[in-house]
Amino acid sequence: MDIYKSCENRNPASKKERSQGFSLVEVVITLGLVTFCLVAILGMLPQSLNVVQDANREAEASRLLKQLATGIQAAYRDGDGRFHMLDADPNTDISWVAGEAKFVHTGYLSVSGENRPGATDADFTWRLELVPPPNNWSSGQAVLRIAWPSTAQWGSGQWMSASGAVRSLVLFRPQ
């Protein structure tokens, strides 16, 4: 029995000494793992920010696309029988007459939807291909395209140097 008592007396003291903290090796390994994980997460941050920025640009372009499509669908006719695209910006007059040939209009837009004179002070570039209705009782169609950045150019049936683009087919009937 004395042997057991002497072992019991030694074991609790040695267990107590071991359970009072972490060894230096354990701390170093833990810090290494945490550092590795943080570096991996921080390395993905720039890519994540680019994805968020592209999603925001696409949302803004889609909103502008809807704004322009609504302007075409809500076109009004003046006294001369000419239809004018309803647009918040008075500097742009996109108009047509029923039976006219297809025409193309291009321009630059800010995020707020204002037309800009050039690509340097714009956020988007846009292109409208409009086929007026053959008469005042038929429907016309238009293809609207918006690309970013504003330096993107249309060529060979596609946008060149564009980070992204949206498009929409608009069917409209004169009022």
pTM here is 0.73
User: Domain for residue 58, yes or no?
Assistant: yes
Per-residue pLDDT averaged across 107-113, rounded?
89
Q: Does 18 reside within a domain? A: no
Q: Which residue has the higher pLDDT, 175 or 150?
A: 150
Average pLDDT over residues 107-122: 87
In a domain, 70, yes or no: yes
> Given pLDDT bands bounded at 50, 70 and 90, which one contains residue 18?
low
Q: What is the structure's pLDDT at 4?
A: 56
117 inside domain: yes
Between 121 and 32, name the one with better pLDDT: 32
Q: Is 64 contained in some domain?
A: yes
User: Identity (one letter) of the amino acid at 132?
Assistant: P
* In a domain? residue 25: no
Whether residue 15 is predicted with pLDDT greater than 90 in this model: the reply is: no
Classify residue 32: in a domain, yes or no: no
Query: Left, alpha or beta for 113 (phi > 0: left; psi -120 to 50: alpha)?
Result: left
Domain residue limits at 152: 44-172
Q: Is residue 137 part of a domain?
A: yes
- The DSSP bridge pattern shows strands 124-131 and 153-155 to be unpaired
Domain total in the chain: 1
pLDDT at 114: 84
